[in-house]
Amino acid sequence: MFSLCVRDHVMIAHSFRGEVFGPAQRLHGATYVVDLEFRRPSLDADNLVVDIGLASKALRAVLAELDYRNLDEHPALHGQNTTTEFLARWVFDQMAVRIRAGELGGAAQGIQSLRVVLHESHIAWAAFEADLAPGAA
């Protein structure tokens, strides 16, 4: 399996509901380093997993939806505890939509799976990975 990873970051504010979150129930900020790994069993005709420029541009567009925002007020995230795990899945879903839409080029149709890692700090991170549904890429 071949893979290629692009990295970006996003700065957000949010709060959580539930006593399990302790002081994080109050509004607080987070800066996530986001790694997005594309995987495929064989390289495309140009010997690429995916075009790095297009992959980086698509990831930036996804993260721009969250960047410098209070996620408690984000219409698409209303009522959610926007944990690191939840956000990793959200980024995955948004990237899958962009792959299906052709934003990463026609060769990206060969991408089999994605892995999204949100690094909350140098000692804690969460990830979501899955195969893209047939016809999703």
What's the whole-model pTM score?
0.94
Q: How long is the chain?
A: 137
Each domain of the chain, given as residue ranges in start order, spans 2-41+57-131
Name residues of the chain where pLDDT drops below 50. 136-137
Distance between CA atoms of 81 and 106, rounded to whole angstroms? Answer: 35
- Is there a contact between 83 and 126 (Cβ–Cβ < 8 Å)? yes
Question: What residue type is 6 in one-letter code?
Answer: V
Q: Which CATH superfamily is domain 2-41+57-131 in?
A: 6-pyruvoyl tetrahydropterin synthase/QueD (3.30.479.10)
| Residue-wise pLDDT tens digits, 13-46 | 999 999 999 999 999 999 999 999 999 999 999 9
Q: Where are the beta strands (DSSP E) in the chain?
A: 2-14, 28-40, 69-70, 113-119, 125-131
